[in-house]
């Protein structure tokens, strides 16, 4: 599977007890449901959905990395220009 964010991969590298504890701590900090967090972890690269920036920052702080390190994609300037011109 090619996920948009590598949250799941980073969590799975942890020992089981630490994985469970950290996952619960992240869910509480986000003030989201477990289902929402699981959805964040499994957004596919070709999906339109994104994690809100604040939520991504919170997750990154728990995983001791930056939000950019959690992204499995690059933003192409040509793609942004295309979307802007298409909206006008």
Q: What is the pLDDT along the chain (88 residues), one digit of tens a residue?
A: 689 999 999 999 999 999 999 999 999 999 999 999 999 999 998 888 999 999 999 999 999 999 999 998 777 676 666 666 666 5
Note the pTM of the prediction, 2 decimals: 0.82
pLDDT at 74: 76
* Terminal-to-terminal C-alpha distance of the chain: 35
Find tokens 């996920």 and name the residue.
3
Domain boundaries, the chain: 7-87
Greatest CA span in the chain, whole angstroms?
Answer: 51
CA distance 52 to 30: 11
pLDDT on residue 87: 60
- Nearest CA to 50 out of 40, 64, 38 is that of 40
């Amino acid at each position: 599977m090619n996920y948009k964010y590598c949250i799941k991969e980073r969590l799975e590298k942890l020992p089981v007890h630490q994985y469970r504890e950290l996952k619960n701590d992240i869910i509480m900090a986000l003030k989201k449901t477990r289902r929402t967090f699981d959805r964040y972890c499994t957004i596919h690269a070709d999906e339109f959905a994104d994690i809100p920036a604040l939520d991504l920052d919170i997750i990154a702080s728990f995983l001791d990395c930056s939000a950019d390190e959690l992204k499995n994609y690059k933003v192409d300037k040509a793609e942004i220009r295309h979307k802007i011109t298409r909206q006008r």
